Structure 1
């Protein structure tokens, strides 16, 4: 479904099928890269499923989809600017498709919003960042797999460095007034997410 969704999306802006295939191959290559365990095509599939459930609540579905496909396209655990680089590549590819600049800028802003997951004045952005965090509110077994995959992505760091850093990330989330900004995701995942974060924190 992921590939078909991307192809259908891009085909709304170009009839050049070789370009459509080329752009999908690039997405597939990035998300299947060596060292990726969580930020993979599987993550995109899960995110797409979350968003499909709330599609009627979203104002700009096309922009949301572009954000979905490009928000983690660049991911290097040694670099602090993955969101900026991902937004940059998204903008480049969307300009290539001659997509209106208003949509491009909205997409780039949504990608950058995944860096901090703070409240946005744009409700579509809040729905996207909430969907991106939905893994935190899954049952403990699924959350534990997520946490394990994140640890594998940071395998370059020994526990002595990783654990304090991971604790800071968890504490950042736990210090938020609420993890999920929209009523839909708050009601569905907030309680379990807080419980999961506290449990992982206690295990480090």
Structure 2
């Protein structure tokens, strides 16, 4: 077969969609993805954005024989036929899918004279994956780790960037802000999420995943504890900046050298983003950033210090799969440490943190302690065993 088509809104494209495209490639020389732009729907991403995500997802897998065509206000099967595509391919997950798709394909052929449809059945692990399923995951703590399993990397990156942008704009009340504030916010959002900061390829843990997870933790804490908007924004702003500057290193900074946390605090103060907030906001955010430094943190006093530290340590109390992903990320981030040295150094950190958890002092904020302390002990015990400590 020369060409075969695959159609859908693909908002976002999932691993299930990618499987169907892979099947199409196995039976045809070229695959055309017909991307629907339906005026009655309100997709998260524009048609051009979805096209770009699909093309990048295919390119990552080395699929050079896949092209994408946007279909506007027309029947996909008819457009396919006009472009020399006689068959469309569709994935069937359930009997309900079959009944629906069979009706569509009969209409395509008998009513509009369009392309015929071939049906394929995805493997069991992809049987429940759909765009609507993936969309429904967004929100609760850990949603990003779950979503990551069901979509290709370009789709995942686009989704969390969209989510982060909403969080960022909400922090600065972007829609009501002045032109100057918007410009400053835009500049710093790109810098924070860019390749020289959380979006860097060398960031295996202190990265965009970490940023999403922490902000989701803060959102949940805020919803349950009910702090003032001022206090919630303090913690949010501090978390955005707390690992903005991150250079690998062990121990306190040398004389005259700034620690990562101090450097990040100064970047925050230089950003001017807190200028329009309440009095003391900028200094309060800087104090919370500095509090995440183990070496200068003990000397810092702030009413929200324990909340900030608890958010930063919340990853220790996640479920087993997320924690193991975190442990691997830490190892990759410290890949410069030799294999014979890393277990000892990492073991020392974990032993210290585990002892604090056993003593009930790891999470100073009661909201996080209740949720995560027991799981943190179990997770760190497991990792220490893996390290032979």
Query: How high is the TM-score relative to the length of structure 1?
Result: 0.89
In terms of mean alpha carbon deviation, does 64-73 or 172-181 score higher?
172-181
Tell me how far 1:121 sits from its aligned partner.
Answer: 5.3
Residue 266 of structure 2 is aligned to residue 88 of structure 1: yes
- What CA distance in whole angstroms lies between the structure 1 residues aligned with 2:178 and 2:383? 46
Aligned length: 204
Indicate which of 152, 157, 161 corresponds to 2:332.
Answer: 152
Secondary structure of the 1:58 match is coil
CA distance in 1, matches of 2:301, 2:265: 19
After TM superposition, the structure 1 stretch with the greater mean CA deviation from structure 2, 16-25 or 116-125, is: 116-125
**Which residue in the other structure is 1:57 paired with?**
226
- Distance in 1 (alpha carbons) for counterparts of 2:279 and 2:201: 33
Contact kept? 1:58, 1:124, Cα under 8 Å: no
More strand by share: 2
- Please say which of residues 135-144 and 88-97 is displaced more in the overlay: 88-97
The 10-residue stretch of structure 1 (39-48 or 4-13) with the greater mean CA deviation from structure 2: 4-13
- Taking the aligned partners of 2:178 and 2:385, their CA distance within structure 1 comes to 51
Query: Is contact 2:287–2:302 with CA below 8 Å preserved after alignment?
Result: no
Query: 8 Å contact 1:135–1:143 — kept in the other structure?
Result: yes
Q: Larger relative contact order (C-alpha < 8 A, sep ≥ 6)?
A: 1
8 Å CA contact 1:67–1:108 kept in 2: the answer is yes
Q: What SS does the aligned partner of 2:340 have?
A: helix
Q: Name 1:75's counterpart in structure 2.
A: 246
TM-score (norm 2): 0.49
Taking only aligned residues, the RMSD between alpha carbons, in angstroms, comes to: 2.3
Whole-Å Cα distance in 1 between the matches of residues 167 and 365 of structure 2? Answer: 25
Matched, 1:25 2:194: no
CA distance in 2, matches of 1:105, 1:160: 42
Measure the CA separation in 1 of the matches of 2:380 and 2:271.
Answer: 36
Q: In structure 1, the residue corresponding to 2:179 is in which secondary structure?
A: coil
2:307 match: 127
How far the C-alpha of 1:119 sits from its partner, in A, is 10
**More helix per residue:** 1
2:214 to 17, 26, 47: 47
Query: Radius of gyration: which is bigger?
Result: 2
Q: Tell me if the contact between 2:274 and 2:282 (Cα under 8 Å) persists in the aligned partners.
A: no
Contiguous gaps of at least 5 residues in structure 1: none
